[in-house]
Structure 1
Amino acid sequence: MIDNNIRSILLTGGFTSTILLGGCNVPLPPQTDHPNVIYVFPDQMRNHAMGFWRKAGFRDAVHFTGDPVYTPNLNQFADESIVLTSAMSNFPVSSPYRGCFFTGKFPTNSGVPLNCKADRPVSSLPIDAECISDVFSKSGYNCAYIGKLHLDHPTPNDPDNPGEYVGEARPAWDAYTPPERRHGFDYWYSYGTFDVHKHPHYWDTEGKRHDINEWSPKHEADKAIAYLRNEGNVRDKNKPFFMVVSFNPPHGPYHSLNDCMEEDYNLYKDKPLDSLLIRPNVNFNMSKNKCVPYYFASVTGVDREFGRILEELKKLGLDKSTIVVFTSDHGETMCSQGVEDAKNSPYAESMNVPFLIRYPQKLAPRIDQEMILSTPDIMPTLLGLSGLGNKIPTAVEGRNYADWFLEKSKRTPLRNAALYIRNADGEKDADGNITSYFPIARGIKTTRYTLALTINKNTKELENALLFDDLNDPYQMHNLPLEENKEVVAMLCEKMVPLLVEANDPWYKEHILKNMIPYN
């Protein structure tokens, strides 16, 4: 759990949005201290796949060359925002990231240690979790969720077919989220996980299913714009709002025009492959290479839909009073390192995610190279920036960096590294359901180094390791031998200990690899 000194920091500052009246919390009218919040996070979006990284100023702030991708809206948004160079998805997989974001906790305590599917009852957002949306809702906010959720263990709860799963896949991945599991979101237009981008489906606030024949980010941006306009009186205009928009693309599949918009694909279709895959760590023998134009097309399409939301916010005069975040749950290796898996690895292109935050007249636009943001920090920081710092649940493990963003003070200490986490399925019951998880890999990402240690599931001894000098080897092409870099490994293992303690991680509790990691 969190050190008491850090916890006291988390609970200081901010402004209350309620008054005590007869022992009850009564919401106050919206104030300038309680801005609207829009959180947009496409799935599987590379930090490298944003055009502004190729622009003067931005390109000098990172050690990689930005992908040759067309993102005019993100380019403009970056000029108006704080842009982090080192936002890290600690467990770069969909459901665990979402559990960290919702709860402000690391996967050990969020309830979501693995990707959610029907044979993993061990991984599902707890119904009694106090989530970011619960705090906003109890503090007088309207709360809306639009798009992919992927946080619930799928059960046979189809509202149209009681006792059945909502999809035909077995084990089931897609899920319907009933009202009692929506954690304060009073407007709902969502689904679990379904990867047919031009034929998505959603369940609305009342549980009615909508099957759509339209590219999902376009449709979801339309719903977000309708929410901003308050079409159908879906929110109380006298209250501030917290709206989450979770696009599925550029998550796979990205194989054909069934997955993206043709107008976006046309920007890339005739370009030679080596003009798109410009990194020295690319393996040009992978079959995945042919997917690159479709992936970049999806990124460009997401940029356009994000821009439409921003434009509507401006038209309605809400831009100055709204915090807008653009980020992602994890990256995409896209033919780097010769790995097929787009995510779930310590590689920078998997862990390092976009993080841009704009709050006009409150946050001075800048590039922040110092902060190494961890996923659980997002919840308390957004609550702090919204004047709800004293509402952050005591169980939160992330840190409230609101004052850092506001440049008021640096009383909340920055971590000097981010923890890397990878879990695997653990024990199974007689029906084949996963009843536990195994903490198969842990690691650390500092401003210079990446270290990842993977253990054997039977012996819990070191099975393999990755060590990169990211400063001198930004594309992580040279795995350094541990024996030849003992001092660096010892330093990184020592730095890992407080991170494991803060996350209440199984490696700390079991003293895994205690011959390498100095727990005491």
Structure 2
Amino acid sequence: MRFGLYTLTLFLSTISLASAVERPNVLLVVTDEHNFRTLGCYREQLSADQAEMWGPGSIVETPNIDRIADEGVLFTRAYATAPVCTPSRAAMFTGRFPHNTGAPQNNMPLRTEVPTLAKILSSNGYRSSYIGKWHLGGPGKPEWAPNVDGGFENTAFMFNRGHWKKLALTDGVPSVGSRNNKGAPDYGVEEADDKTFTTDYLTDRAIESIRHPSDEPFLLVVSYPDPHGPNTVRAPYDSMYDHLRFLPPRTYQQKDSPKPNWLGGGPNHPVFRGEQMSKYFGMVKCIDDNFGRLLESLKQQGQLDSTLIVFTSDHGDLCYEHDRLNKGNPYEGSARVPLLIRYPDRITAKTVYEGPAGTVDLTPTILTLAGISTDAAFEGRSLTSRIAKNARSTINLPPEVTFLRNAGTSPSWLAVVDGRYKLIVSTKDRPWLFDLQEDPDELLNYYGRPGTEDIVKQLGTRLMDYAQRTQDPFATEDKIANSIERCVVPLIANPR
């Protein structure tokens, strides 16, 4: 059969249109400084003492976020590739490790020539929008629609930095809704309501974007600046959990176990304040309620099942574990993040993925789940073959690991995590090996214990391979390089 030019063109156009229609929308929801234990779907995977870290019954119900786990895949061991905002987000949106993005520490701008999730999807016919905190544009604060925007097309409601609690909209122009006595924007929450409180406000803008008619699939990122501090939230969430009896975590003021030297700075022995945990829980509940609004909007538009939905965070919050607040170190509370994906066409409901994953894996995984091909070079892995339907053929793949590094341009520590262990090498200490099965509180160093030689060697070898593959400059620092070698060479030849 011979096609005329018109017939052939029409035939190819039909194929192209069908392919575009089959491509899913992508909704990526990112929270900030979010402890994974606050989500019900994660508590279900933990023992009671791990799930209720701040005392018996100290939980917040999160049915809307939990729904993604019920109808998709829950990653039990997802980690911030560098547990601080900018470098983690740089890894998340590029699939590269932070030192290869131009943004290895807070307030450094993403290199404009680096391929991003938005650039790749835009080149494949997607309309891309970013709503909320970006933190990859440099020092600007808040800097609406920042100059460095990662290639997102619609950035009117993207702001570069800040944890603003109240926002305003005047003639379609966004601004911070709270000001100090000098007229400068501040983090005040006074009189914020369900239209002006930042989580609600950003959700409203996202729903407007979802309802925008278009023949193109969309990429929509909604980036909430909560539950990052300051721990304040609008009513009624500000007192919703005041009835709970919050207790310090078991590792708070722990005196029986040595502290690792790589723990470094940070607020030592912060005074435990249960009211701060109540407000933190309130922020999480507000996020969950608003996430439910996003899901309902997709349903109303008939786009729920045709949208690849991802929920994650840029890093965790220790919330007083190990006498620390916030993040920046490789402890679970700091580095481990929620990661949930729903896409019924490719992912079976109630899938639990127990392998390690990093924020650096997010972009390549989203692209392959969506069926998007690209020539961009990624350093993270696509996890699609491990989580998608009919993925059993991956059983003979090598053991999985993910890599973490400290934020910044000065080396402090590197870490490698597998399905059970976490090995940390640093400039200030001997290697540390955590056994997260035997010691989920991360109080003991298993390095050098009889029977751990093989796992230390395996993880050290993977860390050495990572350093060479990604040219991580941290690995060339003398103490870190010596520690990695010490792990790879049999311990008997490297006595302490």
> So what's the TM-score if we normalise by structure 2?
0.80
Q: Does the alignment pair 1:239 with 2:211?
A: no
Distance 1:377 1:263, change over 3 A: same
SS of structure 2 residue aligned to 1:516 = helix
From 212, 218, 221, the counterpart of 2:203: 221
Distance 1:511 1:201 in 2: 51
Cα displacement (A) at 1:105 = 0.2
**8 Å Cα contact 1:372/1:414 also seen in 2:** no
Q: Does the alignment pair 1:443 with 2:415?
A: yes
Cα displacement (A) at 1:365 = 1.5
Measured against aligned partners, the alpha-carbon deviations of 1:122-175 in whole angstroms (never above 9, x if no partner) come to x310122211100111110010100000001136xxxxxxxxxxxxxxxxx543
Paired residue for 1:3? none
Paired residue for 1:13? none
Q: Does the alignment pair 1:261 with 2:234?
A: yes
Paired residue for 1:112? 103
Cα displacement (A) at 1:78 = 1.9
Distance 1:391 1:449 in 2: 33
Give 1:260-299 correspondences, 5 Å limit.
260-274=233-247, 277=248, 279-283=249-253, 286-290=270-274, 291-299=276-284
Cα displacement (A) at 1:183 = 0.6
Q: Does the alignment pair 1:453 with 2:435?
A: no
From 87, 93, 115, the counterpart of 1:102: 93
Q: Does the alignment pair 1:43 with 2:32?
A: yes
Distance 2:366 2:359 in 1: 12
Distance 1:288 1:350 in 2: 17
The aligned amino acid for 2:74 is V
From 362, 365, 372, the counterpart of 1:381: 365
Q: Does the alignment pair 1:310 with 2:295?
A: yes
**8 Å Cα contact 2:83/2:407 also seen in 1:** no
**8 Å Cα contact 1:282/1:336 also seen in 2:** yes
Q: Does the alignment pair 1:191 with 2:182?
A: no
**8 Å Cα contact 1:328/1:355 also seen in 2:** yes
Q: Does the alignment pair 1:361 with 2:345?
A: yes
Q: Does the alignment pair 1:421 with 2:412?
A: no
Q: Does the alignment pair 1:403 with 2:370?
A: no
Distance 1:127 1:401 in 2: 26
Distance 1:286 1:511 in 2: 33
**8 Å Cα contact 2:145/2:155 also seen in 1:** no
Cα displacement (A) at 1:451 = 2.4
Cα displacement (A) at 1:29 = 6.1
Paired residue for 1:210? 175
Paired residue for 1:139? 124
**Deviating more after overlay: 470-479 vs 136-145:** 470-479
**8 Å Cα contact 2:79/2:356 also seen in 1:** yes
Q: Does the alignment pair 1:497 with 2:464?
A: yes
Measured against aligned partners, the alpha-carbon deviations of 1:271-321 in whole angstroms (never above 9, x if no partner) come to 2122xx5x4223497324331111111111111111110111111111010
Distance 1:516 1:180 in 2: 38
Distance 2:426 2:148 in 1: 38
**8 Å Cα contact 2:227/2:284 also seen in 1:** yes
The aligned amino acid for 1:65 is A
The aligned amino acid for 2:436 is D
Cα displacement (A) at 1:486 = 6.9
Which structure 2 residue ranges, 5 or more long, are not aligned? 1-7, 54-58, 178-191, 255-268, 490-496
Distance 2:9 2:130 in 1: 29
SS of structure 1 residue aligned to 2:341 = strand
**8 Å Cα contact 1:30/1:238 also seen in 2:** no
Measured against aligned partners, the alpha-carbon deviations of 1:198-257 in whole angstroms (never above 9, x if no partner) come to x246899x9x54334521110001111111111xxxxx6100000000000101110xxx
| Identity rate, percent | 28
SS of structure 2 residue aligned to 1:381 = helix
Paired residue for 1:120? none
Paired residue for 1:33? 22
Distance 1:406 1:489, change over 3 A: closer
Distance 1:293 1:20, change over 3 A: farther
**Deviating more after overlay: 186-195 vs 297-306:** 186-195
Paired residue for 2:374? 391
Paired residue for 1:119? none
Distance 1:473 1:378, change over 3 A: same
Which structure 1 residue ranges, 5 or more long, are not aligned? 1-18, 117-122, 156-172, 231-235, 425-436, 456-461
SS of structure 2 residue aligned to 1:452 = strand
Distance 1:31 1:176, change over 3 A: closer
Distance 1:510 1:202 in 2: 49
Cα displacement (A) at 1:416 = 2.3
Paired residue for 1:64? 50
**8 Å Cα contact 2:110/2:148 also seen in 1:** no
**8 Å Cα contact 1:33/1:387 also seen in 2:** no
SS of structure 2 residue aligned to 1:265 = coil
Distance 2:148 2:445 in 1: 48
The aligned amino acid for 1:272 is R
Paired residue for 1:249? 226
Aligned residues: 436
Cα displacement (A) at 1:413 = 4.4
Q: If each structure's helix is expressed as a fraction of its own residues, which one has the higher value? A: 2
**8 Å Cα contact 2:318/2:333 also seen in 1:** yes
Distance 2:338 2:273 in 1: 23
Measured against aligned partners, the alpha-carbon deviations of 1:93-127 in whole angstroms (never above 9, x if no partner) come to 100011011111001211111011xxxxxx31012
Cα displacement (A) at 1:445 = 1.8
The aligned amino acid for 1:327 is T
Measured against aligned partners, the alpha-carbon deviations of 1:423-479 in whole angstroms (never above 9, x if no partner) come to 44xxxxxxxxxxxx2122112222222222221xxxxxx446543221111011224
Distance 1:80 1:486 in 2: 38
Distance 1:414 1:408, change over 3 A: farther
> So what's the TM-score if we normalise by structure 1?
0.76
Distance 1:244 1:413, change over 3 A: farther
Distance 1:401 1:449, change over 3 A: closer
Distance 2:169 2:473 in 1: 36
**Deviating more after overlay: 104-113 vs 364-373:** 364-373
From 466, 482, 491, the counterpart of 1:515: 482
Distance 1:503 1:177, change over 3 A: farther
SS of structure 2 residue aligned to 1:83 = strand
